[in-house]
Amino acid sequence: MEEQRRISSAVINRLPRYHRHLGELIEMGVERISSGELSKRMHVTASQIRQDLNNFGGFGQQGYGYNVQYLYQEIGKILGLEKKYNMAIIGAGNLGRAIANYTNFEKSGFGVVGIFDINPELKGKTIRGVPVRHMDELDEFLKHEKIDIAAITVPKENALEVADRLLKLGVKAFWNFAHIDLNVPKDVIVENVHLSESLMRISYKLSSGEKK
Amino acid sequence: MEEQRRISSAVINRLPRYHRHLGELIEMGVERISSGELSKRMHVTASQIRQDLNNFGGFGQQGYGYNVQYLYQEIGKILGLEKKYNMAIIGAGNLGRAIANYTNFEKSGFGVVGIFDINPELKGKTIRGVPVRHMDELDEFLKHEKIDIAAITVPKENALEVADRLLKLGVKAFWNFAHIDLNVPKDVIVENVHLSESLMRISYKLSSGEKK
DNA sequence: AATGATTTGTTTAAAATTTGACAATCTGAA
DNA sequence: TTCAGATTGTCAAATTTTAAACAAATCATT
């Protein structure tokens, strides 16, 4: 039986950026690239690139480097991008609507299948063809549709309650935009996007005089 | 002359979360807290909390713990939250409008002073009292107003050009939502919010079976 | 006032991450 | 085919980060 080594989250966090840069290189028509060249482009050490990639296998060739197209695909596979994910957006406020309107996620396989809001007045509106439903319809909706990822874009006051409800309905991954820590079992994924914390990192650097 | 030790970015990244939790504790009426209790609440080790805080000085007292109100204020000061920052939003699409509409940033001292877009049809609209201006007005605008932070919410195709223009006009901090790496001098701050990379972290975990 | 329980700040140890180094191997030109 | 140059994969060292341990100080109770 294969022992699967845990990949450090530092590595995982860097993979999407590799993926993006490789995508840009493909658009530029670049066929091959060495860790050294990629290193210059991305401002990370070549050693780190090679070490990161080797967590998943040897994708390069000595004396040649990496085939851009192949490496892009392989990293895509590692990131699970060859699969399709159903995403629901909980909270059709400005942020929820912004996410629902963002077509690039769809292209990467993250399809918006449902949009929900507590405000009855929003019912009947649609965003890119997806109707905004009332929160009351959530249970019924989930009998027919699977939700792989729930984006939580409700105010923090409602976030815990909403997440609990989704948890009970079997949702296993949350994209949390509310400024609060969700409480979930160990087998459930939470990816936080805390914009106010992001802003505070800027104000820290601005006020401390620290530069990148 | 005082040698100022560089604070690791891992520590800085945790500060906003401490700040948020302390704010929640204040709302709950909690007056004092030990690193041990905070540790349980935040799911980090007590040792790390004490170590992090001690980068900036001793805020606690043996046998007592930390005064919540005081620690909240001090971390706020460290994060530069006692100051006011002028923020401009470049790109009045869904995401730009979402940020412009978000009032909590304003409460923390990040005021939206200008919203700009290339689309002439948006001219004349206002968001929370702030008019949407055409990009052509940027130079003139900056003669009268200071921009501390520019939120880049334009498509990635335009982001580099827009950032270059702002750089030349003296903007020293960017909140970058475009899916591209901005190219800036060393004395300029860039804080990236790359939503697609965030989503990929979710898909990695979903497809690899890794849990939080 | 005395004492046992707490809890910090700080030192030390452990773990994780990053960087450097280099043998093995491939490329591509002659 | 040969060989110099390039470049990976990987091992080892260095650095950074995290956790554990504990003396010193404070609290709270009797």
Q: How far is the CA of B140 from the C1' of D30 (A)?
A: 74
CB within 8 Å: B203 and A110: yes
> From CA B176, how far away is CA B186, in angstroms rounded?
16
Beta strand A85-90 with A110-117 is parallel
Letter string b/e over residues A143-168, b meaning 16 or more CB atoms within 10 A of that residue's CB: eeeebbbbbbbbebebbbebbeebbe
| Predicted local confidence at residue B211, as pLDDT | 55
Alpha carbon distances (Å) from A77 to A19, A22, A82: 10, 14, 6
Tell me which chain A residues have a C-beta less than 8 angstroms from the C-beta of B7: 208, 210
Tell me which chain B residues have a C-beta less than 8 angstroms from the C-beta of A17: 194, 197
Tell whether B106 is within 8 A of chain A (Cβ): no
Q: Indicate the pLDDT class of residue B186, thresholds 50, 70 and 90.
A: very high
| Predicted local confidence at residue B2, as pLDDT | 40
| Predicted local confidence at residue B1, as pLDDT | 36
Tell whether B18 is within 8 A of chain A (Cβ): no
**B202: distance to nearest CA of chain A, Å?**
7
User: Would you say residue B209 has pLDDT above 90?
Assistant: no
212 residues of chain A, pLDDT tens digit each = 344 568 999 999 999 999 999 999 999 999 999 999 999 999 999 999 999 999 998 999 999 999 999 999 999 999 999 999 999 999 999 999 999 999 899 999 999 999 999 999 998 899 999 999 999 999 999 999 999 999 999 999 999 999 999 999 999 999 999 999 999 999 999 999 999 999 999 999 999 986 54
- H or E element at residue A134: strand A130-134
Interface of A with B in 47-66 (CB under 8 A): none
Q: How much is the pTM?
A: 0.95
Q: How far is the CA of B55 from the C1' of D13 (A)?
A: 28
Reference A177, options A84, A105, A111, A92; nearest CA is: A92
Residue A103 CB neighbours (<10 A): 9
Interface of A with B in 117-176 (CB under 8 A): 148-149, 172-173, 175
CB-based contacts of B102: which residues, under 8 Å, 6+ apart? Answer: A94, A95, A195
- Burial (CB count within 10 angstroms: exposed 0-12, middle 13-18, buried 19+), residue A193: buried
> From CA A206, how far away is CA A199, in angstroms rounded?
11
Tell whether A12 is within 8 A of chain B (Cβ): yes
> From CA B17, how far away is CA B79, in angstroms rounded?
11
Interface of A with B in 173-212 (CB under 8 A): 173, 175, 179-181, 184, 186-191, 193-208, 210-212
**A137: distance to nearest CA of chain B, Å?**
25
Amino acid at A39: S
CB within 8 Å: A191 and B199: yes
Amino acid at A112: V
In three-state secondary structure terms, B103 is helix
Averaged pLDDT, B101-111: 93
Q: Are A108 and B196 in contact (CB under 8 A)?
A: yes
B138-182 pLDDT tens trace: 999 999 999 999 999 999 999 999 999 999 999 999 999 999 999
User: Would you say residue B3 has pLDDT above 70?
Assistant: no
| Nearest CB to A187 within list B80, B175, B211 | B211
Averaged pLDDT, B39-54: 97
Query: Please, what is the end-to-end C-alpha distance for chain B in angstroms?
Result: 45
